[in-house]
Each structure stands twice: as structure tokens, then as C-alpha cells.
Amino acid sequence: MASSWINSFSSCSNYNRSHVLTRSRKGYVNPNFRLHSNQKSLKHLTRVRKLEEEGEKEYDREHYAAEDDEKEDDPMNEEDKDECRAEEAVLKLYNDIKDRNINGISEVIGDECQCFCNFLSSYRLLQGKKQVMAFIYWLMMNLGKDIKIIVRPTSKDGMTVGVQWQLEWEKSNIQLGKGMSFHICHIYQGKLLIKNVEMFMEPVFHIEPLRLRTMAFAVSLAEKMVTFLRPVENIRRQAMTLLLLALLLLAAVAFYFTQPRL
């Protein structure tokens, strides 16, 4: 009896398995199997998305860390670097003028450079490197060795640099004139050059070649007088020398202010 019941149950089990497989082959899908499969797929997708999010977060952290390192290694951007280079080029120009370094001046002046100045009675626009270099050379020769230029940067806007400057008698720091200049720089073939200069001097100190020579002569004469006048010298001789110096300076001033200006 038990044996027949077991055989019957076994036959029923085989029938059920065969029935399930047979109906499955015909396109029927067991709902339990589908639910179990969907649950596994959902868990897999959730895990994949979680891994992707973690990977993206890790990439963002590495990316921002690399950017921070680049900023620390290079605190200035390209615009700031160009501004610093422009200011350095302008200061180099005046240092080379002070040192009478013609080759150094030529290195920072562009081939198409233009220079406007009111140093002369009539305002002039110098065009091209050749004219600008000739003007700077003329200025250095007429100022002489005892007059120095003191320069102080005042403004910086991109490739435009403004400076204030003054002329002083080097040995006694007597101020002879002051003015301002604006310089526009550009980069040509990887080299930073000055392409435009505007120079202005206070009107009372407008200079012509003869006036420059008069100024240099007066300064040189005053220097010689200071060296010549010593406490041990004769008082009368000192008085005569001072009177002569005063007359010469008075004549120079009168000549300067009586000349017509265009």
C-alpha cells in the first residue's frame, strides 16, 4: 500500500515537472520564476548604479584635487602673468634709459611702435622703431650723466601700464621736472614688446633742445660752484662767484619763460 502511494506521488511529481517544462517550451513563464529573476536583475542594477555613482564621486574628487594642485603650483593665470611681464618691460625701458643701454632699449621697443610726447614745443607723433629709438637717444644725450630718472608704476590694466617719473639732479636730489607716461604692450612671436607710448611732462617744464642744454649747463655749473666754494676760500671770492651764478641762473630763467610756445 505504501509502495503504491509512493509510486503514485513520484508519478505525479514527474508529471508536474514534465507539464511545467512542456508549457514553458510553449512560451509560458512561471510567475514565480519571473519574479525571482526580476528581483535578481533589480539587485544587480542597483549595485551597478551604486558602483557608478561611487566611481563618479571618486573621479570628481580626483579632478578637483588636480585642479587645486595646479592652482597652488601656478597661482597666477595667463592674464596676470602678461600684466607682470608688461610692467617688467616698461620698468626695463626706464632702467635702460638711466643706464644708457641702447641695446636693452631696442629689445623692448616694437618695430611698429608709436610715441607721442609733449617734450617739444609742438607735439609730435613718432612712428616706427627707428624714430622712437632716435628720440630716446636724443633725450639721453641732452639730459647728461648727472640727471637721473625716478620711475614709479601707478596703474596696470592688462597690457597697459602707467608710470609717474621725475628728473632729479643725482648728486643733490634737486627736482628738475616730472611727468607721466602710458605704455601699451603686445606679444609678438612670443616676445612682449612696447607698441605705443604716450609721454606727458608738466607744461612749465616743456623742453626744447636748447632748453635741455641750458638746464644741463646750469646743473653742471651749480655742481662746480658747490665744489669750488669751501670754507677756507676768500669771502670776497665766494661772494663774486655767487653773484655770477645768480646772474647766469636769472638769465637762463628769463630766456626760458620769454620764448614763445607753439
Going from N- to C-terminal start, the domains of the chain cover: 2-70, 80-207, 212-258
Q: What does the CA dihedral 79, 85, 89, 91 come to, rounded to 10 degrees?
A: 100
Backbone angles phi, psi at 32, to 5 degrees: -65, -40
Higher pLDDT: 5 or 212? It is 212
- Tell me which H or E stretch contains 176: strand 174-188
* Among the ranges given (35-49, 94-108, 243-257), the one the predictor scored with the smallest mean pLDDT: 35-49
Half-sphere exposure of 178 (CA within 13 A, CB side): 9
pLDDT greater than 50 at residue 6? no
| Segment 54-76, tens digit of pLDDT | 766 666 666 656 555 555 555 55
pLDDT category, 194, cuts 50, 70, 90?
very high
Which pLDDT belongs to residue 62? 65
Would you tell me how many other CB atoms lie within 10 Å of the CB of residue 86?
24
Give the pLDDT of residue 162.
92
CATH class of 80-207: alpha beta
The chain-wide mean pLDDT, for the chain, equals: 70
Answer yes or no: is pLDDT of 99 > 60.
yes
- Distance of alpha carbon 112 from alpha carbon 105, whole angstroms: 15
Q: Which residues contact 21 (CB under 8 A, 6 or more apart)?
A: none
Q: What percent of the chain stands above pLDDT 70?
A: 47
Q: CA 206 to CA 214: how far, in whole Å?
A: 13
Q: Determine if the pTM surpasses 0.75.
A: no
Which one, of 198, 195, 123, 132, lies nearest residue 162 by Cα?
A: 198
Dihedral sign computed on CA atoms, order 96, 102, 104, 108: positive
- Based on the number of CB atoms within 10 Å of its own CB, is 21 exposed (0-12), middle (13-18) or buried (19 or more)? exposed
